[in-house]
Every structure is written in C-alpha cells, then in structure tokens.
A = this chain, B = another copy of it.
C-alpha cells in the first residue's frame, strides 16, 4: 500500500473556515482555556505524523499476519506493540477524556479528525485505542467516583484497554434476549456468568489488563431490555491502588475468522463468576451504554471515511502513474497516457473525493452538535444540539459507511486487476470497511433508529429544524451561487415532502417506517452532503491564501450537485412505493 498523507489542509479548512469552530471555543468557558486554533492545528499535525509514520506503513503486513489464538491467548502482529506504545505515550487515547482523571478534554470536532486519520492508517489497529476511549466515556458518565479514579487514568494513558461486551450468540440486535447473569456477592460487587461473542479487543497482548464493560441481568431483573445492567469487569483484578492482583474469572474461548479487520481480535469472552462492578443504576444498563452510543456510532462513520480516504489516495496515485490507452487530449507524448485522462476514471475518483470531503464536513457538523450539547452553558442551545446530534448520528454511521464502501470499491476498481491483488492494499480497505456497515448496530438498525425514533417520535420536529436551517442557509447565500443554492433548497423540500409522506403512511401502517428507513436515511444523507458542499462553497468564496483549495471546493461542489445529488430522485420513488408491497409476499415467498 502506498504512503498515507493525512488531509490536513482539508481538515483545517473544514474546521476553521467552513464551520469556524473556534468561535464556539472562544465564547465557551470550558473550552476557551484548553483549545484554540493554533493548539488544534498543532494537535492535528502531530496526529498526522503519528498516523503517517507509526501506523500506516505497517497496516498491509499486519493484515497478512493477523491475530493468532492459542489456548486463550491472543497475539497481535509484531508491529502493533510499537505502534500502540506511540499512541498510548502520545496521550491520544485520552484526547477527549475527562481532565480530572488525566484526559485532555478536547472537543469532538478535533478528536473526530484524529479518529479519521487513525482509521486511514489502519482501521483494525484503531479499534484498540478507539474502543478504550469509548469505554472511558461510559465509565466517566455513569460509574462511581471510586471506579473512575481507579480505572480512568490507566485507560486514558493506554496502560489498560477497554472492551464492550454486549452481543450473545442468540442476542445481537435484540439485546433484551441476553442471558448473562449478575449475582450480588458479599463484597458489594457481582459475580458475572455468561458468554459474549463478537467482542473486539476482548483479549490481546498489547496491555497488561483489559477492562470489560459487560451487559448482564440480575436474578430478579424485569424481562427484556428493561432488565439489563452494566458492569465493569477487569480481566485482572485490581487493588484499591490500581495494582494488578489475581486474574479474574474471564477467559477468551476463541476468536472469529473474518472477512477483514484481521488484526482486530474478535473474541468469544467467557465470564465464569467473574467479579464485576455495577456501572450506573441497576436495570439501566442499556441507557448507560446509549450515552456513549452517539460517539461510538460517529466513530464508526469515521472509520468508513478513513478507509475511503486511503482508498482514494491510492487510486489517485495509481491513476496518475499507470499508463494505458490515450486521452482525447493527450497528457504525454508516450504510447499511452496515465489513466486519469479517461472520463470514467475521473468519474470514479471525483465521486470518491466529493463523497469523502462531504463526509469529513458532515462528521464535523455532527461533532459540533455533540460539543455544543456537552459544553454549552445555554441550556436551550444544548438541548437543540443534542436533539440534532441524536438525529444525525445514525446518518453519520450508516450513510457514511454505506457510501464509503462504495468509495472503497471504486478505489479498487481504478486499479483493475491490481486492485484485486492483496499487495496493493485496495482490497483490504474494502474488507475492512465492510464491517463498519455491520457492527455498532447494522445500518438497517441505524435507519430504523433514524426514522422510527429520531424522526417519527417528535413528529418530524427536529428534522424540520434541520431542514429549516438548510433552507435559511440557501436563502442567505443565494448571492454566492444562485443555481446551487436553488438546488439545495429544492433538495431540502424534497426531503421534507418525503418525510411527511412516510409519517402519514405510518399512521395507518406500522411497517411504513421500516419499509422506507434505509432509502430515507440515504436520501437524508445526500441532502445533508449537499448542505455540506454548499457550506464549503461559501467558505471557499471568502478563503484567503489558498486559491487552489478554494477552486477545488467550488468545482467539486458543482460536481456533487450534478452527479451525486440526483440519486435523491430514485430514493424518493423507492420510498413512495410503500410498505404494503413488501407484505404482498408471504414469508416463504420472499
């Protein structure tokens, strides 16, 4: 695989020119002391260095090596220890962590960029620090002070990693079915017994300890999802000073053999009366997990983007170098031109870049909602931002990963046969990216969450506030690019119209939401990406000192509106076919 070059220019443009995140930082008491533009740029530049030099060069060989399982022990690739130490020692795992316990307290808009770079460098590697940071979020939000003091500093520092133990063999999407038991014991803790599957980083050799967050049920718990509690279960028990004690009754039964992310250990983890500590309230485990879910799901979207960005970079390099055929306008006087001269190769590359840059902007837009919800002192503003983040998160997870897979496939296609051969790395990106559509709630579940909970439950109010924001933006910036703003306005109307149609159908058909959901999520995604491109065009208009970037943004916005946004028309028609059609078939007939 070729060298990875972190897209710092684009990141800085999106953060500081397009969204002007520094304005919120400056006016906010929590953030103004810890972050400003210079600090942020320095952090991102350092992140670029770490990911480009200490992680990306090893991702191809690491995939071939994979993780090995032997009698309960998991061995990661040889290069991973050094890479992990660089990440841990750089403090990157605690980048967003609570400063009280050793975290750096950075806003999501910054950590999201870091996460994208990590995933471009090596998606599977990025899961180890990424899941640790996620576990810390849940612990910080819900655990007792005692647990926080004991565990957070060593997790932020990377001395210990974290894992999330949710899924059981018979309970994936439907967590209400889990059977893992938690029985209170004499020490005030719980004995956890059960078997979990698909546990990323459930066992490995990167750190001396692993802190599992485990969903389990108390003996007298209510049926279904209302009876789930959350527990912290260390692999190795820890005394009050954080010293390692005897091993806990936690073991790795096996690891999965998967399509991709070969270096991420996906484990069966068995708890045989393991000592666990309650996190949050009894029977409120699912809610506790959900507080971190938006962050995790946004991270998964960024994983997809990371893969698609790397794929674009490889494909672009190849297209500039590989000679085959001649262009209508010649690029060289040789017997063939670089394939970037051909229109269809351009189409593939431009599709990828237009989607990637929109995804990066959209990730920032969602991050900003999360930051405002978390840091703003204005409760109304925070509440609205939280509602927006809730609605946008499933789109950031599912739309970004669905279209990122499409991007990775295009990036592979640009290389022809070489894209199918492992040494070039393009096929690895397809295999790695593919998991992002499945885990942390399949993209079908994300779509149900979007339409069923986020859109339908407030009767479209939050969605409409976003649509209003888009329409106001289009109207305010009409002078910048009238035709583009007019298209944006129409696209926003189409989104509203379609949402209204589905909500009306849902009043009489309870399957209406599910039938429309995935297409609707994509429709919303394309409209929001159009909004992102419109924002970037406006920022480009007043950008100083980087004419090449400004021109690229304007051209690419036009490209997006002409060649990608039209997909909304088909999606609308598909949605309007309704739910009843799906049930003209019996189960056997499907």
Which of A90-98, A430-438, A492-500 participates in binding chain B? A430-438
Interface flag for A427 (CB, 8 Å): yes
Option from B172, B350, B416, B442 in Cβ contact (under 8 Å) with A438: B416
**Beta-carbon contact of A174 and B336 below 8 Å:** yes
A442-B413 in contact given A335-B177, A448-B344 (Cβ < 8 Å): yes
Interface residues of A in 314-367 (CB under 8 A from B): 316, 319-320, 323-325, 328, 331, 335-336, 338, 340-350, 353
Cα of A167 to Cα of B417 in the assembled complex, Å: 10
Q: How far is the CA of A588 from the CA of B416 in the complex (A)?
A: 21
Chain B residues, Cβ within 8 Å of A423: 257
Kindly provide the distance from the CB of A475 to the nearest chain B CB, expressed in whole angstroms.
24
Q: Which of A104-112, A207-215, A231-239, A576-584 contacts B (4 or more CB under 8 A)?
A: A576-584
Q: Identify which of B325, B328, B435, B515 contacts A420 (C-beta below 8 A).
A: B435
Q: How large is the interface on A (under 10, 10 to 19, 20 to 34, 35 or more residues)?
A: 35 or more
A438 touches B421 (CB 8 A): no
- A346–B413 CB distance below 8 A: no
**Given the complex, which residues of B lie within 8 Å of A174, measured CB to CB?**
323-325, 336
Identify which of B335, B347, B590 contacts A319 (C-beta below 8 A): B590
Q: Is A552 an interface residue (CB 8 A)?
A: yes
Give CA–CA (A256, B409) in the complex, Å: 19
Beta-carbon contact of B417 and A328 below 8 Å: no
Chain B proximity of A328: nearest CB distance (Å): 4
Is A420 a contact of B587 with CB atoms below 8 Å?
no
Tell yes or no: A566 within 8 A of B by CB: yes
- Chain B residue at smallest Cβ distance from A584: B555
Per-position binary interface string of chain A over residues 57-85, scored 1 when its CB falls under 8 Å from any chain B CB and 0 otherwise: 00000000000000000000000000000
User: What B residues does A568 contact at CB under 8 A?
Assistant: 570
Contacts of A552 in B (CB 8 A): 585, 589
Q: Is the CB of A438 within 8 A of B422?
A: no
* Cβ < 8 Å to B, chain A residues 443-459: 443-444, 447-448
Closest chain B residue, CB of each to CB of A511: B343
Interface residues of A (CB under 8 A from B): 167, 170-174, 177, 197-198, 224, 256-260, 316, 319-320, 323-325, 328, 331, 335-336, 338, 340-350, 353, 405, 409, 412-413, 416-417, 419-423, 427, 430-431, 434-435, 437-439, 442-444, 447-448, 510-511, 514-515, 517-518, 551-552, 555, 558-559, 562-564, 566-571, 573-574, 577, 579, 581-585, 587-590
